[in-house]
Amino acid sequence: MSDIVRYTTLTANEINYYNTYGYLMLPGLISQEVARSLADNVLEVMDGLGVARESLQAATSSKDKLRQSKQYLADTSLDHLVNSAGLNSIASQLMGGASTIYLPFTAVKSGGGGGKFHFHQDNQYTRFDGPGINIWFALVEMTPDNGCLQIAPKTHLEGTMESVESEDKDGHRTVTVEPEQFLPLRMMPGDAVAFTRLTLHGSGANSTNMPRLGYAVQYHRDDVSATRNGESVGLLKDNPVYDVGPVTAFDSNGD
């Protein structure tokens, strides 16, 4: 089978832009047909975890602001994306060295006006001592109306910022001072954006009556070590935090 991503080689200008601004748009990285298949897979994950379709149309709890699951079935479009050699190559080019998957996950935001996600850095959770990247895919059209990603350019240059638990008390982190300037990323199904683990990002509320469906694959460079909950994990390549392989059945307690 050919690789699920449509291109795998980046130009020097693209890599320089990523290093300068902390993010890079990757339009049409997968086809719209593949994006539809991935969207179906993501909804199957939600079904498998017992998430009622009604709750995806109207948020009913703080969990609905972002439903994340690393679980995916073998030999599905999600499997082909997570384990794509081409996607790994893009991550490696942007980080300047061989890389390994850290964590893949669904990024599902229910409709109905909820789901604002506070500005944060991925490194405010497990802390990497070197490069990490998030390659985030739009599986439906992304607009400010349905809570598209918001990126604050160049914030990766400030290092890991001070953070606190979000006011929702749901275990998510947020920065103590939100950025004054940021970009809402309008994306079509199949578009992706890559951003560093230090890039400040968030998303607005989903005011539509349809779920916002996205998917993220995070990587670390192979020489990166990490600290988790204040304790050293060691070299991530040798001590992975997550089992990122496919599952044979969904487990609601598995994430």
More confidently predicted of 124 and 40? 40
Average pLDDT, the chain: 92
- Beta-bridge partners for 100: 220
Least confident stretch, 65-79, 103-117, 159-173: 159-173
Q: Is the pLDDT of residue 1 over 60?
A: no
DSSP states of 173-241 as a string? EEESS--S--EE--B-TT-EEEEETT-EEEE--B-SSS-EEEEEEEEEETT-EEEETTEEEEETTTS-S
pLDDT at 65: 72
More confidently predicted of 124 and 101? 101
Residue-wise pLDDT for 113-126, tens only, equals 878 888 999 998 89
Polymer length in residues for the chain = 255
CATH among 2.40.37.20, 2.60.120.620, 1.50.10.20, 3.40.50.720 for 21-223: 2.60.120.620
Q: Is the pLDDT of residue 6 over 70?
A: yes
**Which residues does 194 contact at the CB level (< 8 Å), separation at least 6?**
18, 23, 24, 26, 90, 91, 94, 133, 134, 135, 136
Please state the pTM of the whole predicted model: 0.94
Q: Which helix (H) or strand (E) holds 80?
A: helix 77-82
